Structure 1
Amino acid sequence: MFALGDLVQMKKPHACGTNRWEILRVGMDIRIKCMGCGHMLLMPRPQFVKKMKKVMTPAASVDVTAEPHYVQPRPLDPPSDLS
């Protein structure tokens, strides 16, 4: 469906004129960032699912040089030795 770092299209455009958003946080709430102006929103998952139209670009195939506001997802840190 959607994952961290994906670029999604919303049903209605943002005030800046674009409807492309990057997913920054996935959980009970979804944090998204406008790819036009960099504005960030946090919304409940059911509201996000209702307002999302489609996944435009999966995170693995985003061209970072062409997207000025894109933030690459960090790989998870390996577990530290707790002994």
Structure 2
Amino acid sequence: MEQKTFQLNDIVEMKKPHPCGANRWKVIRMGMDIRIKCVGCGHSVMIPRKEFAKKMKKVLETSQE
């Protein structure tokens, strides 16, 4: 299985959409846990890095830093 790479401020797509209907998330914090923010409604969720890597489908936009 390939290692998924992502950075701070990337826009990612998760396997399941958010209840608001959007499926675009912005990575706003990285560490042992990853905090992502829904682009549609602004709700943020913190999940463990291992679980995030399992649930992330792909990176849609990379940060321009």
Name which one, 1 or 2, has greater alpha-carbon Rg: 1
Quick one: which of 15, 21, 37 aligns to 1:11? 15
Q: What's 1:51 paired with? A: 55
Do structure 1's residue 32 and structure 2's residue 24 form an aligned pair? no
Task: Report how many residues are paired.
Answer: 61
Aligned-residue offset at 1:42: 0.3
TM (norm. structure 2) is 0.91
Please state how far the C-alpha of 1:56 moved relative to its aligned partner: 0.2
| Structure 1 gap ranges (5+) | 62-83
CA RMSD of aligned residues (A): 1.1
Hey, which bits of structure 1, 4+ residues long, moved more than 4 A? none
Letter of the 2:52 counterpart: F
Question: Where in structure 2 are there 5+ consecutive unaligned residues?
Answer: none
Q: Deviations over 1:18-50 (max 9, x none)?
A: 110000011100000000000000000001000
| Greater relative contact order (CA < 8 Å, ≥ 6 in sequence) | 2
Which protein is richer in helix relative to its size? 1
Identical-residue share of aligned pairs (%) = 59
TM-score, normalised relative to structure 1: 0.71
Q: What code does the residue aligned with 2:9 have?
A: G
